[in-house]
Amino acid sequence: MLAELDTTESAALADLEAAGDAAALEAWRIEWLGSKGRLKSLMGRMKDVDPGDRPAFGQRMNAMKKLLEAAFAERKAAGDAAPSGPAIDVTEPGIPMGLGQRHIISRTIAEILEVFARMGFESATGPEVEDEWHNFTALNVPESHPAREPIDNFYLDGGGMLRSQTSTVQIRVLETTPPPVRIVAAGRVYRPDTHDATHFSMFHQVEGLWVDRGVTMVDLKSALLGFAHAYFGEEAEVRMRPSFFPFTEPSAEVDMKMRIKGQWQWVELGGCGLVDPNVLTAVGLDPEEWSGFAFGLGVERIAMRKYGIADIRWLFENDARFLRQF
Ligand code: DAH
């Protein structure tokens, strides 16, 4: 009887070896290890064994059951890990790396600065965390001016603020550089505006400043027109409408005529004027000797009109599907 068990075990192992796929393996399990399987029915023959041989028979049966279960588990694990056929297809092309690109606002800024560089304007920068002197006081914005209201600015707990305009860089440059000075300054500015299609609490401006002897509105208009022609095309036009800014006198709003979807249209882009004598005085320059012009343009305005972007929020959601169009 015990010898018969050895034969049975060999037969079971040979069968297992021959099981070619997952279905055959499962069939083997049911046939040999199942609740109505062959091991179970062999167990049932215990009663035919001589009582003295029964312990040995039981031990032999248990050993066989363990062995077959282990052999089955091993085959099954190997089958799960290795699908039929080669594990990888070495001829399949790789997944290409996504190529990045500059954000449309960064690119627009670079293009604007490049045009002004060709007119002799150097690029300058200033901090985004500013003090009220550079953001307001030196720019001839008095303490009582509504533009300084807490509700319209990001004041910081420890003092200072997030700059609300790049005009701060006019002061920063004039404090450290003796004229003549001809700079453009691009960067982020911050205002607590409620977000909608045309407002965002962070946006970008390009500031221009030329301080020299005898600078006039003609120089201002020439510089803006030079930019418009280089950036929007020879048919572009510049229009100035009288306005008020504390840091310029006289002051004007700047419109530029640009082609939008094939149609030439006037678009309001920012403000400009001749540097107010109080600003020159604030940085220690004699307004009788020195004069200048300044302008500030909205970068998002330029980019949104140029590329037909209807909502400023789309620029800053970091949705690559949107951004990679430009
Ligand atoms: N700083 C102004 C603003 O944020 C824009 C501006 C207007 C800048 C006139 C200038 C200027 O330099 O001369 O609304």
Mutate to test the pocket of ligand 1, among 116, 139, 165, 188 (most ligand atoms within 8 A of CB): 165
CB-side neighbour CA atoms (13 Å) of 129 = 5
What angle in degrees, to the nearest 10, is found between the helix axes of 2-18 and 22-33? Answer: 160
What distance in Å separates the CA atoms of residue 211 and residue 170, rounded to the nearest whole number?
10
**pLDDT of the residue at 84:** 62
Q: Are 46 and 66 in contact (CB under 8 A)?
A: no
Atom from ligand 1 closest to the CA of residue 170: 12
Q: What is the pLDDT of residue 276?
A: 98
Q: Which of 258, 209, 218 is nearest to 240 (CA)?
A: 218
**Position of tokens 């450290």?**
176
Query: Which atom of ligand 1 is least distant from the CA of 296?
Result: 8
219 C-alpha vs ligand 1 centroid, how far in Å? 17
Measuring from atom 8 of ligand 1, which residue has the nearest CA?
296
Determine the atom of ligand 1 nearest the C-alpha atom of 270. 5
Question: How far is ligand 1, taken at its centre, from the CA of residue 182, in Å?
Answer: 16
Q: What does each of the 326 residues of the chain score in pLDDT, given as a tens digit?
A: 777 888 888 888 888 888 888 888 888 889 989 889 888 888 888 888 888 888 888 888 888 889 888 988 888 888 766 556 677 888 888 888 888 899 999 999 999 999 999 999 999 999 999 999 999 999 999 999 999 999 999 999 999 999 999 999 999 999 999 999 999 999 999 999 999 999 999 999 999 999 999 999 999 999 999 999 999 999 999 999 999 999 999 999 999 999 988 899 999 999 999 999 999 999 999 999 999 999 999 999 999 999 999 999 999 999 999 999 99
Q: Could you tell me if residue 85 is left (phi over 0), alpha (psi between -120 and 50 degrees) or otherwise beta?
A: left
Residue 316 and residue 270 in contact, taking contact as beta carbons nearer than 8 Å: no
Q: Give residue 16 CA to ligand 1 midpoint distance, Å.
A: 85
CA distance 138 to 147: 14
Query: Residue 63 has which token pair?
Result: 């050993």
Rounded to the nearest angstrom, the distance between the alpha carbon of 295 and the centre of ligand 1 is 6
How confident is the model at residue 242, as a pLDDT?
98
CA of 323 to the centre of ligand 1 (A): 28
Residue 273 CA, ligand 1 centroid: distance in Å: 9
Site residues for ligand 1, CB cut-off 6 Å: 165, 167, 207, 245, 248, 270-273, 294-296
Reported residue count of the chain is: 326
Cα gap 22→319, rounded to integer Å: 45
Å from CA of 195 to ligand 1 middle: 21
Read off the pTM: 0.73
Ligand 1 atom nearest to 208, measured from its CA: 12
Task: Tell which atom from ligand 1 comes closest to the C-alpha of 295.
Answer: 12
193 touches 160 (CB < 8 A): no
